[in-house]
Amino acid sequence: MLLALIWASSSPAGECPSFTGRSWEFSGHLVNSMSPGPPDYESVTSGDEPITRWFLQLPWSVCFDEYRYVTKLQLALEPQEVDRYRQFLGKEIIVTGTLEEGAPGDTTSLVVKVSSLVRYRRQGS
């Protein structure tokens, strides 16, 4: 089900849906990247702690409210979830959850509070 992607990508200009108050389902590839963390959030080579963040890389851009051309959503995962989902890294997945605005230190403007993450299986595979 690609409801969120179809709705958001097919909305006329200026009519992006609100991201609050409902659950969304997205598909894309699970990716991660390292970025600088505390104390300064500026440079790992200068002594900041490296933080690995997990993302859903969308196949095309979506929009919500004032957020236009969103191609990557940060995933809010607990440490035990990271261990469980590591097997899907680089694979196509389906994520269900609610969207929240990113907080300072997040690397995307919107973050998915994940309620479900499963490997995408094409029909007939």
Domains in the chain, please, with CATH?
3-119 (2.40.50)
Encoded tokens for 1:
């089900």
- Digit-by-digit pLDDT tens for the chain (125 residues) are 444 544 444 545 568 999 999 999 999 999 999 988 889 888 999 999 998 999 999 999 999 988 999 999 999 999 999 999 999 999 999 999 999 998 766 677 899 999 999 999 877 65
Q: How far apart are CA 116 and CA 104, in angstroms?
A: 25
Give the Å distances, CA to CA, from 2 to 8, 41, 45, 53: 10, 35, 40, 24
SS3 content of the chain, % helix, strand, coil (to 5): 15, 45, 40
Q: Write down the pTM of the prediction.
A: 0.81
pLDDT tens string 110-125: 999 999 999 998 776 5
Q: Report how far residue 103's alpha carbon sits from residue 123's, in angstroms, rounded to the nearest whole number.
A: 38
